[in-house]
Structure 1
Amino acid sequence: MNKNADIELAAVSKAYGSTLAVHPISLKIPATTYCCLLGPSGCGKTSTLRMIAGHEAATSGDILLGDANVTDLPPARRGTAMMFQSYALFPHLDLVDNVAFSLKMKGVEKAARRHEAMEMLRLMQLEPYADRRPAQLSGGQQQRVALARALITKPEALLLDEPLSALDPFLKIRMRAELKKLQASLGITFIHVTHSQEEAMALADLIVVMNNGRIEQAASPRVVFERPATAFVARFMGDHNVISGKVVEASGDTTVIEVAGGGRFKAPGGTKSARGEPLDLAVRTDRVRIAGAEDDLLGFNGIVSNVEYLGSTVNLSVTGAGIDDFTIVVSDDAYFAQPVKIGDAVSLSWAATDVIVLGRVAG
C-alpha cells in the first residue's frame, strides 16, 4: 500500500436485495484529511464506511487506495482499520491484550506485541490502567482503548463509525479535541461517520453530506455552512431558511419565484431556470433583519410564532407570505433592544447578496 495515499470511490454502490442503500457515488478523499460522512439515519453513510473498510462488499464500482484497487481485498489487507460504534472490546482481557489482539492474530511474539500495545496505551494516556478490564473504565477511556487497538496495525486510514455517540455532552467535546489532535499528530486519514452537524463542523477538513444514498455536497465546513449546494443541505445544517417555489419571472438578471402560499421572492443575478420550473432559494438565519425591505421581493411581513432565548442569541420563528416557519437568529443585545413576543407583527428583510440559489441532486 502507498503511505499517505488518497482514497477514491469510483461509482460505488450498495444494494441489499432490491433496495439500493447507496446509489453509485464518486468521491475523492485526499491523504491525511479528516473527513466526516454526515447525514440522517438511513442515508447510506455507515454502508459507505463499511464498504471502504471491506466489511461490506460493494455491489458495483471501485475503491482505490492510492493507485491500488482494494475493492475485493479483505479488511486486513486494505491498509485501513475500523473502530466500531460499540467499541467491541473483549471483557475478559486486560487493556494490553485487548490492544495487542490483532498482532496476536498475525503471529507477533508475545513480548513484542505487548511492548507495542503499551506504547499505544502510552499515546492514549492509559498506561496506568494497563492491567484493568474494560468494565473498570469510563466511556471515554474505553473509547481510547478501542482507538489504540485500531491504530496498532499502523493503518493508512482510520474509519470511525459514530465514535462519540455513546458519550455524554461534556465528554463528547473533550473527545472531539482529542480526535483532532490525534489525527494531526499521526498524519493519517480519518473517515468519521456522524449524524451531528456540530461534530462534523468541529472536526472535519472535508464534510460529505449524504441523503437517501446519494452525496448532496462534499466540501470544506465553511463552504457547506456558507454555500449549501441543495435544499437538503441547507435544511439539514440548520443555518439557512429554504424558500421553495416555482419560477414566475425569468429575465437576464433577475429570477422571481412564487411559493405555494402566494408569496414572491427574488433571486438576484438571474438563473438558468425557465418559467414554471421549481427553484429553491436559501437565506442564512443570521442575515435576516427585523426591518422593512427596500425591495418588496427581498423580505416579507409576518407574525412571530415562537421565541427561544439561547443565551448569546435569540431564535425567532415567523409565519407569513405562505411560509410556515421562517427562522431569524439575532444577538441577545439586538433582541432586548427591540424585543418582540409571540403574536407580534414584524417586517423581515435581507440583502440581495445573502440570497443563495440552490441546486438539485440528479435523481
Structure 2
Amino acid sequence: MSKAAEIEIASVSKIYGNTTAVHAISLKIPAGSYCCLLGPSGCGKTSTLRMIAGHESVSGGDILLGNKNVTDLAPAERGTAMMFQSYALFPHLDLVDNVAFSMKMKGVDKETRRAKALDMLKLMQLEPYASRRPAQLSGGQQQRVALARALITDPEALLLDEPLSALDPFLKIRMRAELKKLQTSLGITFVHVTHSQEEAMALADIIVVMNDGRIEQAAAPRTVFERPATAFVARFMGDHNVISGRATSSTPLGLSLTVPAGGTFSAPACGIPEGDPVDIAIRTDRVQIGKAAQDGLGFTGSVSNIEYRGSSVKLTATGAGIEEFTAIISDREFFEQPIKVGEAIQLSWDAGDVIVLGKAQ
C-alpha cells in the first residue's frame, strides 16, 4: 500500500449557478487519520468529498494531497479512490473482474491484474466468492467488493460517500468495526461522509461538522461531544440542551442570561457585552432531577414527555421560557421515584456543566 497523505482544503468553495453549496472552507486532515464529514442533508459534505475526489470542479481555492496541488487534476491522477453510496458494481462481471476493472482500463495485463484482484478479495475475506456476480452477494459482501475495487489502485486517501446507508442496523455496526480495522491496518487517510452522529463518533479521529456549506467545528469526537463550538453543533450532536437568551448582567459565576419569555440563568464569564445574544449548552445526562436550583443553575418545569430507553429514561420538560428541555436519568433513578407527564419537577445542574457556545464563523 502507498503512503498516507495529508489532505489540505484551502479556502475551497463550490457554486452552482446562484447557489453557493460550499463557502470558502479550510481544513487540514492529518495523514493516516479517519475523518468524518458530518451534517444534515444539503450541508455541503458530499460536494466537499466530490471536490477532493475530482468528480466536482472547484469554484475557488485549492486542494492539496501531500505536497501536491491536485485541484485541476483528473480523478485518476490524484492518488485518491472513491467508494460510491450505490457501490456501482458491474452486474455482468464476476468479482475478480469487478475489482480489477480500473487496472484493465490502465492496460495492465490480465494475469497481473487478476492476481492483484485476488489479493484484494483475500483482504476482504471474499476469496471463496471470486467467481460470483454481485447479484449473488449480500449487501455487506457487495460493499466489501466496492471497497476492494477502490483500494486496488493503492490510493493515498480513500473517500467514502455514506458507505453504510444501504445496510440494515446490525450489519451497519459490524461494517463500522470492519472499516475502522481496515483503516488502521492499511494506515491510509479515510474521508467518510455521513449524517449519522453515532457513526461519526464510532469511527472518526476527527469529526468535521458542516452546516449550510460551512464548517461549524472540526475536532476529535470527544471534543465535539463535550465542548461543542456552536449552538448548531450542540443541537445536531444531540445530548445537549441549548438555552438562547441575552446577556443581562454580571454575577458571581460570571454572566447572567435572560430567556425572552422568562427565566434567568448563570453562565461562566466569557466577555460577551450586556445586551448581546448568548447561547449556553447543558448536557442532558448532567441534569439533576428533584434538587432545587442554586444561583440560576436550573428551573422548575412541567414534564411534557417520558421515553423509556432500557438502561435510561429520557424526560422532556417545559418551563422558564424554554419549550423543550431534556434530562437523561438512569432507569433505577426513575423507577425509585417515578414521574408522570404533567408533573412539576425541579431541574438543576452544576456551574461546571454550563458551556458557553460561540457563533459560526
TM-score for both structures, normalised by structure 2: 0.98
Q: Deviation at 1:308?
A: 0.3
Q: Deviation at 1:291?
A: 2.6
Aligned to 1:57: 57
Aligned to 1:308: 307
Is residue 335 of structure 2 the alignment partner of residue 336 of structure 1? yes
Q: Deviation at 1:296?
A: 4.1
TM-score for both structures, normalised by structure 1: 0.98
SS of the aligned residue for 2:99 comes to: helix
Aligned to 1:136: 136
- Supply the AA of the counterpart residue of 1:222: R
Alignment of 1:1-363 (within 5 A): 3-250=3-250, 254-268=254-268, 270-362=269-361
- Whole-Å separation in 1 of the counterparts to 2:179 and 2:332: 35
Q: Deviation at 1:251?
A: 6.0
Q: Deviation at 1:323?
A: 0.4
- Whole-Å separation in 2 of the counterparts to 1:81 and 1:48: 15
- Whole-Å separation in 1 of the counterparts to 2:43 and 2:185: 31
- Whole-Å separation in 2 of the counterparts to 1:84 and 1:37: 15
**Which string of whole-angstrom CA distances, capped at 9 and with x for unpartnered residues, describes residues 273-307 of structure 1?**
11111100000000000133352410000100000
- Whole-Å separation in 2 of the counterparts to 1:24 and 1:3: 28
Residue ranges of structure 1 left out of the alignment (5+ in a row): none
- Whole-Å separation in 1 of the counterparts to 2:103 and 2:147: 15
Tell me if structure 2 keeps the 8 A contact 1:293–1:350.
no
Tell me if structure 1 keeps the 8 A contact 2:293–2:299.
no
Tell me if structure 2 keeps the 8 A contact 1:290–1:349.
yes
Tell me if structure 2 keeps the 8 A contact 1:58–1:71.
yes
- Supply the AA of the counterpart residue of 2:352: T
- Supply the AA of the counterpart residue of 1:310: R
**Which string of whole-angstrom CA distances, capped at 9 and with x for unpartnered residues, describes residues 295-337 of structure 1?**
2410000100000000001000000000011000001111111
Query: Between Structure 1 and Structure 2, how many residues are aligned?
Result: 360
Residue ranges of structure 2 left out of the alignment (5+ in a row): none
Tell me if structure 2 keeps the 8 A contact 1:299–1:349.
yes
The structure-2 alpha-carbon separation of the partners of 1:16 and 1:252, relative to structure 1 and needing over 3 Å to count, comes to: farther
- Supply the AA of the counterpart residue of 1:189: T
Q: Deviation at 1:250?
A: 3.6
SS of the aligned residue for 2:198 comes to: helix
Q: What's the Cα RMSD here?
A: 1.1
- Whole-Å separation in 2 of the counterparts to 1:336 and 1:257: 34
Q: Deviation at 1:338?
A: 1.3
